[in-house]
Amino acid sequence: MIRIQDLKRISDFEWEIPQSLRGDMRGPVRIFGTRKLLEQILGDKSLEQAVNASTLPGLVGAVVVMPDMHQGYGFPIGGVAATRFPHGVVSPGAIGYDINCGVRLLASSIEMEAALPHLDRLATLLNQYCPSGVGVKGVVHVNVPELDRLMRAGSRWALKNGYARENDLTRTEENGCMEGADPAEVSARAKTRGLDQIGSVGAGNHFVEVDLVESILDPETAAVFGLQQGCLAVQIHCGSRGLGHQVCTDYVQDFQSAVKRYGIELPDRELVCAPMDSPEGQAYLGAMRAAANYAFVNRQLIAFSARRAFEETFAGKLKNWQLIQVYDICHNMGKIETHAVDGKQVKVCIHRKGATRAFGPGTPGLPPEFQQTGQPVLIPGSMGTASWVLAGTETSMLRSWGSSCHGAGRTMSRSQAKHDFRGDVLRRELEGRGIKIRAGSMSGLAEEAPEAYKDVDSVVETVVAAGIVRKVARLRPLVVVKG
């Protein structure tokens, strides 16, 4: 059990668990959080999990955890770890089952006042065109050879097939395609699960949301991102569906024996890993990238469906109803990146699990328009609460492996939330505040009660005060569609 006295205070917003805490640690753990958030974090096992993550072979520097962190399985949610390329390990469990779960933000010039009379219809059409919920199929069905092409090309597949615009791709992390994807390393079972789920939201905390851009904190950056105060925006939160879950399941199972072959000892079997340059590591990287590309296409198809709903709602009623992509970011991902370590540029594999890439100004790989501003960092709040658009900073490159938080972060178990809240009551409360809800499951709604999460504003204030991001805009929900 880790206690607050085990932590070294670096600043009001940054703390460290020294490597000396446990003999098997290969680096320290750096925590971004206020004392109050830390006290919440100490209520579960997330810091133990962060310490466990620091035992990964080939670890470089510190394991970093964000203020929205909470207990996961193996690796904490809100964690970032870097391992040396190419001999260090890659760990499927440190990336997660929902490979390339992420958030896409679309902006519009639709003013809220003009949209209000049409929001009910918009909510219904979004619910109809963006399939969500348990066991629900997607909007596109493909055969296995086509699925392989989709997994190789990512968003380029969507562009070729008429589901994307050119600037959707330039405004997607990695341009919507992880190079090195290898569908041959994706099992037949994973492909079976993926065939008919493309373009579906799924269940749990995944959603499609229409927001109001309530306030702009940095007008110049907001203009670059395409956000206008008082106008509508759309957030899409989902990942690689059953295909990604199966890829992770397959490789966590396979790596149980790989760790023995490579003489790797770990405190938790869910952290199993293999050297990146081993056949096992290469196979996982190829499969993980293929699943990541599937997720890019998935969010692209949901964006396509959202545009269809917007067109049917607003065309002929408003002049400009188009949805323009702000950015699409991943928060469960493994990527080979170059970072400054002890004054040298070092190639590492960054494992982000429930953490968002937050590259600062001038970082290679960002589209030209974000070179001055840093990349958009999208932080959805819990259901019914605010969301934030932030921008990456130079400090994030130095302190947090170019990463930031990914949401509010749960504090309450799902069973406790279901015990304490009722979905129908919650729905009435949210609708009383003017938020249109389309939800397939009332118990699912109860699990996502805002009180089950940390206060997203406090989480954002912490990462901003730590300097790893800066505020650009705050969004308020108008329509929530979820399974």
Partner 1 sequence: MPFEELSHTADWSLRIWAADLTQLFAESARGMNALTGTKLAESPRVQRTFSASAEDAESLLVSFLSELVFFAEQETLAFDRIELKIDAREGQSCTLSATLSGANILSLNKSIKAVTFHNMQIHQTERGYEVDIVFDV
Catalytic residue IDs: 406
Q: Min. distance of Cβ 386 from partner 1 in angstroms?
A: 21
Nearer to partner 1, 68 or 168 (CB): 68
Closest CA to 155 of 171, 135, 175: 175
Judged by CB under 8 A, the stretch of 11-19, 166-174, 187-195, 328-336 that binds partner 1 is 187-195
Q: Does 11 bind partner 1 (CB under 8 A)?
A: no
Judged by CB under 8 A, the stretch of 17-25, 144-152, 239-247, 313-321 that binds partner 1 is 239-247
d(CA 371, CA 337): 17
Nearer to partner 1, 92 or 154 (CB): 92
Nearer to partner 1, 144 or 340 (CB): 144
Bridge-partner residues for 102, per DSSP? 238, 330
For the CA atoms of 460, 463, 464, 468, the dihedral, rounded to the nearest 10 degrees, stands at -140
Q: Does 187 bind partner 1 (CB under 8 A)?
A: no
Work out which of 46, 375, 382, 396 binds partner 1, going by CB under 8 A: 46
Nearer to partner 1, 206 or 476 (CB): 206
Q: Does 70 bind partner 1 (CB under 8 A)?
A: yes
Q: Min. distance of Cβ 384 from partner 1 in angstroms?
A: 19
Closest CA to 373 of 358, 387, 356, 388: 358
Q: Min. distance of Cβ 416 from partner 1 in angstroms?
A: 7
Q: How far apart, in Å, are the Cα atoms of 215 and each of 241, 282, 323, 461?
A: 33, 45, 19, 15
356 DSSP assignment: E
Tokens representing 397 are 């490159």
Q: Does 98 bind partner 1 (CB under 8 A)?
A: yes
Strand blocks (E) in 133-253:
207-216, 231-238
SS3 of 293, please?
helix
Contact between residue 397 and residue 359 where contact means Cβ atoms under 8 Å apart:
yes
Q: Min. distance of Cβ 413 from partner 1 in angstroms?
A: 5
Nearer to partner 1, 269 or 433 (CB): 269
SS3 of 43, please?
coil
Contact between residue 440 and residue 482 where contact means Cβ atoms under 8 Å apart:
yes
Bridge-partner residues for 351, per DSSP? 81, 334
Q: Does 268 bind partner 1 (CB under 8 A)?
A: yes
Q: Does 365 bind partner 1 (CB under 8 A)?
A: no
Q: Does 71 bind partner 1 (CB under 8 A)?
A: yes
User: How would you label 253-288 residue by residue, b for 16+ Cβ within 10 Å and e otherwise?
Assistant: ebbeebbeebebebeeebbbbbbbebebbbbbbbbb
Q: Does 138 bind partner 1 (CB under 8 A)?
A: no
Determine which helix (DSSP H) or strand (DSSP E) holds 120, and give its type and residue range: helix 119-129
For the CA atoms of 455, 456, 458, 459, the dihedral, rounded to the nearest 10 degrees, stands at 120
Judged by CB under 8 A, the stretch of 158-166, 174-182, 229-237, 267-275 that binds partner 1 is 267-275
Site for partner 1 in 117-136 (CB under 8 A): 134-135
Nearer to partner 1, 168 or 250 (CB): 250
- Based on C-alpha coordinates, what's the Rg of the chain? 21
Q: Does 93 bind partner 1 (CB under 8 A)?
A: yes
d(CA 429, CA 418): 16
How many residues of this chain bind partner 1 (CB under 8 A)?
42
Contact between residue 94 and residue 185 where contact means Cβ atoms under 8 Å apart:
no
Q: Does 44 bind partner 1 (CB under 8 A)?
A: yes
Nearer to partner 1, 148 or 447 (CB): 447
Work out which of 6, 16, 111, 270 binds partner 1, going by CB under 8 A: 270
SS3 of 250, please?
helix
Q: Min. distance of Cβ 69 from partner 1 in angstroms?
A: 10
Nearer to partner 1, 96 or 376 (CB): 96
Q: Min. distance of Cβ 147 from partner 1 in angstroms?
A: 15
Q: Does 74 bind partner 1 (CB under 8 A)?
A: yes
Q: Min. distance of Cβ 193 from partner 1 in angstroms?
A: 6
Q: Does 149 bind partner 1 (CB under 8 A)?
A: no
Nearer to partner 1, 338 or 441 (CB): 441
**Residues belonging to the chain:** 483
Site for partner 1 in 400-459 (CB under 8 A): 410-416, 441, 443-444
Contact between residue 383 and residue 452 where contact means Cβ atoms under 8 Å apart:
no
Bridge-partner residues for 75, per DSSP? 73
Omega into 380 within 30° of 0, i.e. cis?
A: no
Q: Min. distance of Cβ 7 from partner 1 in angstroms?
A: 19
Q: Min. distance of Cβ 192 from partner 1 in angstroms?
A: 6
Residues near partner 1 (CB under 8 A) are 44, 46, 70-74, 77, 93, 96-98, 134-135, 189, 192-193, 203-204, 242, 245-246, 248-249, 252-253, 256-257, 268-270, 272, 410-416, 441, 443-444
